Structure 1
Amino acid sequence: MKVHAPSAKALTPALLARWPFPNHGVDADKEARGHVLVIGGSVETPGAVALAAIAALRAGAGKLTVAVPASVAQGLALTIPESRVIGLPQSTGGSFLAQGADKLAPLAGGVDAVVLGPGMLDAPASLAFVRKLLSHFPHSTVVLDAFAMGVVEQGALDPRVIMTPHAGEMAKLSSTTKEAVCDDPLTSAVAAATLWNACVVLKGACTFIAQADGTTWRHEGATPGLATSGSGDTLAGLIGGLAARGLTPPVAAAWGVVIHSRAGEVLARRYGPLGFLAGELSAEFPKLIHAAHHRQRRP
């Protein structure tokens, strides 16, 4: 099916000013700033979960729970002392088992945003886990990243779901080529958002955000250093943290893309265009979010 994709609106300062950050007030406790659940990881890639989880806290979320395969839970708990860490059942290959989703179901009523997929292995068992988990969290914003996005092969999702593919992932999920996605990324993003009934963030030098209703935005960044291992995990966590604070899925996605890009610009000025680490991005988020919020409050 050919999808007509109109021009995407640029995420300009004037447009972003219409989407203020929540003003929690000086008396707000951690409950008021939202609870994020980050799920993913494997024996080989536990760091991806750490990057996403730290980014969620740096976005200003008040509470953090992390769920990982049982074999890496203790290491993550020591790496992120601010979090509650839950070890889930795993297969002999280290992937999630579907029944592990039931262990997280009791959290559903108190979790505002779920970040699902960073560091997750590509296995049928993991996708069964993802589908079951989505059914347990019907009222949470869910950010799908990495192999968790493969769940779209089993049917449409929900507008509360945010997907964060790069061009290669989009090509695989859409059964096309990376070249085709890169030739017309806006059309690819709109087609995916329409088909999957989700908010799609197609990452690249120019990132496109598309909603199922055809609304689109774009953000152009010239920071090649952001194309590095762990950068996408950090973005997913940032978006999840903003969603937990109360931003709607498309607004959380838009601000996440912008703040992530601005953090890359800060590090590029400090270190040079290449060579800064994804783990260094999150430390820049609080200052950038505060500055953006301050500009919005000016008369």
Structure 2
Amino acid sequence: MYLVTADEMQRMDRATIESFGIPGRVLMENAGRGATAFFLEAVYRDHPGSVGIVAGRGNNGGDGFVMARYLHQKGIRTTVFLLSQSDRVKGDAAANLKLLEPMGVPVVELADAAAFESRKLLMRHQHTWIDAILGTGLSSDVRGYFRTIIDFINRQDRPVFAVDIASGLDSDTGRVCGASIQAAATATFGFAKVGQLCYPGRTFTGRLKIIDIGIPFHLAQKAGCRQHLITPGALKNDIPRRSATVHKGHTGHLLILAGSPGKTGAAALTAAAAVRTGAGLVTLGVPNSLNPVLETMVTEAMTVGLPETANGVLDEAAHESITSLIEGKRCLAMGPGLGTHPSTGRLVGRLIEESPVPLVVDADGLNLIAAEPSVLSRQRSPIVLTPHPGEMARLSGHSTADIQDDRIGHARAFAERHQVYLVLKGAASVVARPDGTVFVNATGNPGMAAGGMGDVLTGLIAGLITQGMAAGAAAQTGVYLHGRAADRMAIKKAPVGYLATEVVDTLPEAMDELLTGGEHLSWPERDTLLNSSGHSGK
């Protein structure tokens, strides 16, 4: 399913009007009519009464004027509060504004702060609000008068319905530009916007519905859209199917390098997740002194002790043994609990350069790569990196705050520069491919903010690759299943306090749901995240 930027959406609008001959006024009519239907369902049904539409003088305001007309025709008391003088409204928006007067729809001009102060009492009497102020074209922080209006609307403790996007959100990143409308629901037009699926934008969007306004679907490809939402339909065909005669030799053998003193749990979780995902065989390579410990912690996986440093972490001297172990394997995962000793770092670098099978690298593996990211340019096989924002900051040289301000931009830039598959973990995890295509994940919940969850994801992705999935498909499927299994735990057990081991045990149920469309248990936010009547795709 496509997620579009503001620029891409503008180009598609323009192409629809110029190449297909669909007038802009028709698109605006379709937008306003579809948004009205969703407003009545999502907001007005539970909060009937007077409706205030606060509108700017651009096309977003024009969509609001169309909504005012449809609501008035249904006998709903509707007032338009125009944040401009009427004669400054131009084009299709002006044409729709002019239709309101003969219909008797009140239009109150609030061109400045003085006019706003004089109409505050009337505005406080509205039961619901429709935000048609700014739209998707916002490129700077909201200040001055518009910020005053946004703050006022948010303080009224009335449900707000956003037209296309909550005013104040950056369409491309989800960043709040100074201030943003807090919407209970949003009707977005043509395609979902990137910033509506990324945090914090998702918090300000509320229930989201795509309204089909007549933009041909193939224009998204022509516009070069490279952002997608990960959806079950797009993943289903990539999950490995098994014949009745399959055996463990057919389902692959995974090698994991993990663990150090005090971090044996990370190694065990990674192995358990790979087994639960369906990897036929899993071998866990650990420092020699930890092998007796790991042998008692894991049952389905095999363990092997490897040369270690004086402080008990994997030594570069293990390289020869690991090279032998890789023979016959389909994937190499490394990093969870590995430690950051320089000798371990040299070992990781050599394996990146020499591994004949795809790699999945997490945790300390990433911290070791951060000392010399250029090693990635010497990769022999596809690599999946799975950093959290702090690790991403160390890899890229940016601050964690910068990473979080534009998660997609930073993930894409790193994946393209180093030709890797990059999973930037966190709320709405991002999967970036070497060609710059980006996928945003919508599964998962706050209970996942606990130790061990990242180790589970490493084993999950590696387990899928081991069964024959391509690295990119495994990364996308892995983050989806990881979040879906956690969603099931949040519903079945509790929103917070479930364990990484419990998520591991729930992976088979999540995979079965994806494959068969079986019992659907989802964290409540996902139930209202996207209700599409437009170009959602799979």
Give the TM-score, by structure 1 length: 0.92
Which aligned segments of 4 or more residues in structure 1 are displaced greater than 6 angstroms? none
Rounded Cα–Cα distance in structure 1 between residues aligned with 2:436 and 2:409: 10
Match of 1:9? 228
Q: In structure 2, do the counterparts of structure 1 residues 222 and 291 end up closer, same or farther at CA, with 3 Å as the change threshold?
A: closer
User: Are the equivalent residues in 1 in contact too, given 2:335–2:364 (CA < 8 A)?
Assistant: yes
CA deviations on 1:104-161 (whole Å, 9 max, x unpaired) are 21122311111100111112111101122234422x1210001212325252244610
Which residue of 120, 126, 130 maps to 2:344? 126
Match of 1:177? 399
Match of 1:281? 503
Which residue of 144, 158, 171 maps to 2:361? 144
Alignment of 1:186-205 (within 5 A): 186-205=408-427
Rounded Cα–Cα distance in structure 1 between residues aligned with 2:435 and 2:517: 30
| Shift in Å, 1:166 | 0.6
User: Are the equivalent residues in 1 in contact too, given 2:315–2:344 (CA < 8 A)?
Assistant: yes
Rounded Cα–Cα distance in structure 2 between residues aligned with 1:108 and 1:72: 20
| Shift in Å, 1:10 | 0.2
Tell me the amino acid that sits aligned with residue 20 of structure 1: D
| Shift in Å, 1:12 | 1.5
Which residue of 221, 230, 252 maps to 1:34? 252
User: Are the equivalent residues in 2 in contact too, given 1:56–1:238 (CA < 8 A)?
Assistant: yes
Q: In structure 2, do the counterparts of structure 1 residues 219 and 13 end up closer, same or farther at CA, with 3 Å as the change threshold?
A: same
Which residue of 304, 329, 332 maps to 1:86? 304
Rounded Cα–Cα distance in structure 2 between residues aligned with 1:294 and 1:270: 20
Rounded Cα–Cα distance in structure 2 between residues aligned with 1:13 and 1:45: 34
User: Are the equivalent residues in 1 in contact too, given 2:238–2:473 (CA < 8 A)?
Assistant: no
Q: In structure 2, do the counterparts of structure 1 residues 57 and 23 end up closer, same or farther at CA, with 3 Å as the change threshold?
A: same
Match of 1:259? 481
RMSD of the TM alignment (CA)?
A: 1.8
Rounded Cα–Cα distance in structure 1 between residues aligned with 2:343 and 2:417: 24
User: Are the equivalent residues in 1 in contact too, given 2:257–2:333 (CA < 8 A)?
Assistant: yes
Which residue of 238, 242, 262 maps to 1:24? 242
Rounded Cα–Cα distance in structure 1 between residues aligned with 2:337 and 2:438: 28
SS at match of 2:272: helix
| Shift in Å, 1:280 | 0.9
User: Are the equivalent residues in 2 in contact too, given 1:97–1:126 (CA < 8 A)?
Assistant: yes
Which residue of 453, 456, 461 maps to 1:239? 461
Structure number with greater Rg is: 2
User: Are the equivalent residues in 2 in contact too, given 1:205–1:223 (CA < 8 A)?
Assistant: yes
User: Are the equivalent residues in 2 in contact too, given 1:108–1:136 (CA < 8 A)?
Assistant: no
Rounded Cα–Cα distance in structure 1 between residues aligned with 2:278 and 2:437: 27
For structure 1, which segment, 255-264 or 220-229, has the greater mean C-alpha deviation from structure 2 after superposition?
Answer: 220-229
Q: In structure 2, do the counterparts of structure 1 residues 222 and 295 end up closer, same or farther at CA, with 3 Å as the change threshold?
A: closer
For structure 1, which segment, 129-138 or 80-89, has the greater mean C-alpha deviation from structure 2 after superposition?
Answer: 129-138
Greater relative CO (CA pairs within 8 A, separation 6+): 1
% identical aligned pairs: 32
Give the TM-score, by structure 2 length: 0.52
SS at match of 1:119: coil
Unaligned runs of 5+ in 2: 1-171, 174-224, 519-538
Tell me the amino acid that sits aligned with residue 475 of structure 2: A
SS at match of 2:250: helix
Which residue of 257, 264, 277 maps to 1:46? 264
Rounded Cα–Cα distance in structure 2 between residues aligned with 1:47 and 1:141: 24
Which residue of 321, 340, 348 maps to 1:103? 321
| Shift in Å, 1:7 | 5.6
Tell me the amino acid that sits aligned with residue 260 of structure 1: H
| Shift in Å, 1:294 | 2.2
Unaligned runs of 5+ in 1: none
Rounded Cα–Cα distance in structure 2 between residues aligned with 1:130 and 1:254: 24
Which residue of 383, 403, 407 maps to 1:161? 383
User: Are the equivalent residues in 2 in contact too, given 1:59–1:241 (CA < 8 A)?
Assistant: yes
For structure 1, which segment, 48-57 or 7-16, has the greater mean C-alpha deviation from structure 2 after superposition?
Answer: 7-16
User: Are the equivalent residues in 1 in contact too, given 2:326–2:332 (CA < 8 A)?
Assistant: no
Match of 1:226? 448
User: Are the equivalent residues in 1 in contact too, given 2:275–2:301 (CA < 8 A)?
Assistant: no
SS at match of 2:472: helix
Rounded Cα–Cα distance in structure 2 between residues aligned with 1:180 and 1:32: 44
| Shift in Å, 1:14 | 2.8
